[in-house]
């Protein structure tokens, strides 16, 4: 059971002795979204499965490529032929072989016969159109000879929280880790010294400290030429 943001806000304020809620909910929400996104990037091990209906990976005859309808995919893990548009159940038994885009394009140009796709490539759409940013272009070979449906396994970007009833998709201990990082970020603005901030960080799993504290240091002021970075 994930720990809601409302409980997290109370936890953060306790760490900061902020009984008067000097740090308002809107500020906490912004920091929690930022830290949660970074946490998921560093530790995400919860892939999601998508049907062709959800992802848009329904291929018609002669479709050389298909752009997903999803714009929140961070990393594609694999795809396989499904038995129907609404199923992730296998229709072939094997995932497709992953090639580089240039390899796939070369195959399409050299071997133009149609058939059952066995290979695919992935590339992120480059566009200034906001609605299309983050979408993925898949290419296939052989070029489809009939309609095929493909299921997708991927890691996705977390949706931004919008209110205190939301909760991170993490174990309880990880949720509290996120809230501790938020407290550690805010603490300097409330006058806490490095010693106390280090105590807050000690409650964060060591692996995540290594990932997130490097990010925090990267946000500091640029040193003068004669100074060494902190």
Q: Is the pLDDT of residue 226 over 70?
A: no
Whether 214 shows a pLDDT value over 80: the answer reads no
pLDDT at 158: 87
Q: Does residue 221 have a pLDDT over 80?
A: no
Residue bearing the bigger pLDDT, 219 or 208:
208
DSSP 16: T
Are residues 146 and 185 located together in one domain of the fold? Answer: no
Residues 60 and 128 in one domain: yes
Whether residues 76 and 24 fall in one domain:
no
- Residue 56 counted as domain residue: yes
CA angle 189, 229, 44 (to 5 degrees): 70
Domain hosting residue 120, numbered range: 48-156
Nearest to 75 by CA among 15, 17, 156: 156
Q: Do 179 and 208 sit in the same domain of this protein?
A: yes
Count structural domains, the chain: 2
- The pTM (predicted TM-score) of the whole model is 0.74
pLDDT tens, residue by residue, 7-25: 999 999 999 999 998 999 9
Q: 206 lies in a domain?
A: yes
Please tell me whether residues 73 and 54 are part of one structural domain.
yes
Domain end point (choices 134, 156, 178): 156
Which pLDDT score, from 0 to 100, does residue 206 have? 87
Residue 202 has pLDDT above 90, yes or no: yes
Contacts of 187 (CB under 8 A, 6+ apart): 15, 16, 196, 197, 200
| Domain end residue (candidates: 156, 180, 201) | 156
Q: How far apart are CA 230 and CA 99, in angstroms?
A: 42
The last residue of one of the domains, among 105, 135, 156, is 156
Query: What pLDDT is stored for residue 105 in this prediction?
Result: 95
Domain membership flag for residue 193: yes
Quick one: average pLDDT of 159-178?
93
């Amino acid at each position: 059971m994930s720990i809601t943001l409302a409980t997290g806000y109370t936890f953060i304020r306790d760490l900061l002795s902020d009984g008067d809620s000097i740090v308002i909910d809107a500020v906490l929400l912004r920091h929690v979204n930022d830290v949660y996104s970074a946490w998921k990037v560093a530790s995400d091990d919860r892939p999601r499965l998508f049907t062709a209906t959800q992802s848009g990976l329904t291929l018609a005859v002669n479709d050389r490529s298909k752009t997903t309808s999803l714009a929140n995919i961070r990393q594609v893990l694999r795809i396989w032929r499904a038995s129907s548009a609404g199923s992730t159940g296998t229709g072939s038994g094997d995932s497709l072989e992953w090639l580089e885009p240039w390899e796939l394009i070369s195959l399409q140009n050299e071997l133009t016969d149609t058939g059952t796709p066995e290979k695919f490539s992935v590339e992120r759409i480059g566009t200034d159109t906001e609605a299309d940013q983050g979408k993925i272009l898949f290419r296939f070979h052989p070029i489809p000879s009939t309609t095929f449906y493909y299921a997708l396994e991927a890691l996705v970007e977390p949706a931004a929280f919008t209110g205190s009833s939301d909760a991170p998709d993490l174990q309880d201990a990880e949720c509290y880790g996120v809230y501790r990082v938020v407290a550690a970020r805010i603490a300097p603005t409330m006058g806490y010294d490095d010693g106390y901030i280090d105590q807050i960080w000690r409650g964060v799993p060591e692996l995540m400290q290594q990932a997130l504290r490097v990010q925090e240091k990267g946000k500091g002021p640029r040193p003068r030429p004669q100074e060494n970075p902190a």
